[in-house]
Amino acid sequence: MEDLVNNIPKKVVYSGIQPTGIITIGNYIGAIDNWLKLQEDYNSLFSIVDLHALTVRQNPAEYRQRALSFFAQYLAAGIDPNKAIIYFQSHVKEHAELCWILNCFTYVGEMTRMTQFKDKSKKNEDNINMGLLDYPVLMAADILLYQTDLVPVGVDQKQHLEIARDIAIRFNNLYSPTFKVPEGYIPKQGAKIFSLQDPTGKMSKSDPDPNASVAIIEDPDSIMRKFKRAVTDCETTVEIREDKPGILNLLTIMSAMTGQTIESLADEYRDGGYAKFKQAVGESVVEKFRPLREEYNRLMQDKGYLMQVAKDGAEKASRIAYRTMQKVKRKIGLVELK
């Protein structure tokens, strides 16, 4: 865990995605794209947070398949097992263990106030389980176990990050410094990609309307169709304006795909009409993800390799997690077995 040349410890990056729905271009632009950059310079850990997604009912056979598919998509996107630790949360038992301990330092009132808890409770009225309420504490455990400095996520996770920080500070104040207090890493542009069907709402990976979101492994025809149908407005000029959220969203997506600024794209497509612009946005998405899709298909044929990477990742993560747990247990006064 050291920068061997300068002998300074490298900072730690941690992030994860729940294996629900599909990995969307929103998840890619808001999170994964930054992971790719950060893995070059940090000690990074990227997990499939498969315990988190149990807060809503999953079909076991589908769930297992989807989690593996997400893992392959991480690799296909360019998360490199030689640079980062990639693993399934459920393979490292310390996540659940630390979650329990942190529960005893978290107030019920803090959890019932969480926006995501309120939203998800409304959506799952028949299954408002303890896990749903406890979700942010498990996320805090994920982050704090690895003494994380930076957490690259989309803007919707800001509140969860704040609570992780609060819990760390509270624990540190009670028992002397134990956890690193993490910072969020939220992109300036693209931290919230909007639905293609409702440009005022977030593009969500479990949106029941298939036209609202685009998967990173989607086939080109389907991608093009969705962009053609994307909801915009009844004007004709491609401009950056607050009151044109559909256009701004498409500009943001194309900018992330091509590296061009939204200003230069708006200039380029200004008077060409929406149809031409949407076609160009669609093509930029198809081209960006073509190699990823091909690599994904190849990896899914090689389950042996996927499982080997998962096993290595879990082992490396467990070693770090174990050290933090030992420290935590000592601080709170649990009897040690020598």
Of the two residues 158 and 303, which places its CB atom closer to ligand LTN in the complex? 158
Positions 232 through 271 that interact with ligand LTN (CB under 6 A)? none
Structure tokens at 243: 């009151």
21 interface partner picked from ligand LTN, ligand ATP, none, CB below 5 to 8 A per type: ligand ATP
Residues 6+ apart with CB under 8 A from 211: 196, 197, 226, 229
Given candidates 23, 29, 32, 49, which one binds ligand LTN under the rule CB under 6 A? Answer: 49
Q: Which residue bears the tokens 């070693």?
A: 319
Q: How far is the CB of 235 from ligand LTN (least distance, A)?
A: 34
Per CB under 6 A, does 52 bind ligand LTN? yes
Per CB under 6 A, does 30 bind ligand LTN? no
Name beta bridge partners: 111. Answer: none
C-alpha to C-alpha distance for 140 and 103, rounded to whole angstroms? 10
192 interface partner picked from ligand ATP, ligand LTN, none, CB below 5 to 8 A per type: ligand ATP
Q: How far is the CB of 268 from ligand ATP (least distance, A)?
A: 24
Measured CA angle at 166 (ends 168, 121), to 5 deg: 115
Per CB under 6 A, does 18 bind ligand LTN? yes
* Secondary structure letter of residue 149 according to DSSP: S
Residues 6+ apart with CB under 8 A from 205: 20, 21, 22, 23, 24, 26, 27, 213
C-alpha to C-alpha distance for 86 and 242, rounded to whole angstroms? 39
202 interface partner picked from ligand ATP, ligand LTN, none, CB below 5 to 8 A per type: ligand ATP
Of the two residues 30 and 81, which places its CB atom closer to ligand LTN in the complex? 30
Q: What residues make contact with ligand ATP under the rule CB under 6 A? A: 17-18, 20-21, 26-27, 29-31, 153-154, 156-157, 191-193, 202-206
| Strand, helix or coil for residue 29 | helix
139 interface partner picked from ligand ATP, ligand LTN, none, CB below 5 to 8 A per type: ligand LTN
Q: How far is the CB of 31 from ligand LTN (least distance, A)?
A: 7
Taking CA atoms, 16 is separated from 7, 200, 306, 310, 326, in Å, by 28, 25, 17, 14, 24
Residues in contact with ligand LTN by the rule CB under 6 A? 14-16, 18, 49, 52, 139, 142-143, 151, 153, 157, 160
